[in-house]
Every structure is written in C-alpha cells, then in structure tokens.
Amino acid sequence: MGMAAYGDPYKYYSHMKPLLKQNLHRGCRNWLPGVQGQQDSFDIAASAQLIYTEEFEKLVSLASATSPNKNLVLMGGCALNCVANYIALKYFDNVWIMPAPGDAGSSLGAALDKKVEWKGPYLGHNIEGDYPVTDIIKELKKDRLIGVANGRAEFGPRAFGNRSLLADPRGLQVKDKVNEIKRRQKFRPFAPVVMEEHAHELFDMLVSSSPYMQYVIRCKEPTKYPAIVHKDGTSRVQTVNKKQHLGLYTLLSEWYKETGCPMLLNTSLNIKGKPMVNTMADAKEFERTYNVRVA
C-alpha cells in the first residue's frame, strides 16, 4: 500500500492481471524477467494495488447485489488494505472490520459468536498504572517523540495507544526521525491519531469514526502536518473518543490545549523485524537500545 503511491499503476497492469489465475501467496516480485530496481518495485506495487482494488470492488458489489442486508463484515488479511476498504462504504451502510482481520482475528470471531461482548482490541498483557499524560506531553515538547507502554497490549498488528511510539505530526524532520529509530524504509507512511470531534476538520472523513486505522483518507492540510501525510496526500486515520480510550483521549485533549493540534503521529512501539514492546522489561530495553524514553 505504501509503495503504491510512488508508482505508475498502469505500467505493469496488463502483465500482472493474468497472474490472478495463480497462487500468489509467495508474491509476484520475480514474475517478469528484467524487472529490477526500486522504481520498478514502486510500479509493481502500484499495479498490484490497482488490480486488488478492482477485484475487491467486484466482490463487494456482488455481495451488495445478492443480499438485501446493508451491514458488511470484512475479514481476512486483505481487510488490512485500508487503501481499498473505503470502496465498501459505497455499497453498504455499516461496515465492520476487525482490528486483527487475519487468522488470529477469525479465531476470536468464533468466540464472539458465542455472544461475547466486543469491548475493544486491548486484550493483551497488562502494564498497571494510570495513562502517563503529563510525562508524554513533557517529552513530546522536549524531543517531539516518546514511547508508551501502558495498560493492556493491543490484539492485532496495529498499535492504538497502549504500545505506541507517539510524535508531534507537525515537524518536517519527525517522519525521518521515527523511521530511523524503527529501521523502516523512508517511503513508508505513519498514521495520525486524532480526537474524533476534530477529525472532520482535518480529513475528508468517509465515516463518522475510524478507531482502528482501517481507511486511507485525504488530509485537508498536508503541509501543516507533514509527518502523518503520505506522498498522495492521504493518511491512515485513527480517531479516538472518551469511551474508546479515556487515557489517550485525555492526552490528545491536553496536547490540543497546549499546542492547538488535536492529533499525534502514532506507530507501533517496535523495531522492524522485532516483536512489540510488551512488558516494562521490554520498555526499559527499548529505552537503552534506541535512546527513546518510554512512559
């Protein structure tokens, strides 16, 4: 998804479309002899994203045409493709996408079928203590980023505030600094976490809320918040309200009062290829190794 914004979606489109007849679990990087280099990778990604988006719309359209129900549940690893997910909103009134829509989420879905009430993705190991709002703001104002390890860890591949690396979204160098810490490729974007009531002011929201970063949405002021805007002017928005996460909402409220900015950059508290920071011991090791404060 991230690479696609840098490429030409039609360069390899006609060559790649027939690949849908094959099993692509191992990817399609070596399918065309002579294709090499970063720019070719971007073009391949762009073509793959366009093809997936088209096929996804065919499925959603068919589901809408064959069912009178206007509620849709999306599951499977492809439901993490937030670039394409917005298409479902064209055909259904209510769309539910599990925060962990892969195999792990499917197993939880089997449990939820037994009438277990879904209260959110914070199901993992618990680190006791109040959400460290004051410490976070103090560090953000000093170094513009801080790690957070507090409360129950998030279930799934994305961090929603309890195992997060948070940063000021307004700095021109913030994105590069966070990418350097996380050992990520520079083309990869970062997501914003924003107070729900301010989301429509900053983004062309397709939905009233987006608590699990499931849609890519155009930012209205990309030059003002360069750290959370991708090359195509979009952001993978996470909204938050009091009921969803009181600590994180309080943090954003206090940050807004002090800076006039109702959002922060939010990415997972881990390094590329490494597991998520989960315990306080992990957090202390992260601090020592990467020289980033963890509250």
Domain boundaries defined on the chain: 3-107, 122-290
Question: Per-10-residue mean pLDDT for the chain, 295 residues long?
Answer: 92 88 71 67 91 96 95 92 94 93 79 75 94 96 92 93 96 88 84 98 94 95 95 95 97 97 96 88 93 93
Q: What is the pLDDT of residues 94-112, one digit of tens each?
A: 999 989 888 878 777 777 7
Q: What is the pLDDT of residues 109-135, one digit of tens each?
A: 777 776 677 888 999 999 999 999 999
Report how far residue 43's alpha carbon sits from residue 39's, in angstroms, rounded to the nearest whole number: 6
In contact, 265 and 179? CB cutoff 8 Å = no
pTM of the model: 0.90
Q: Which CATH architecture has domain 122-290?
A: Alpha-Beta Complex (3.90)
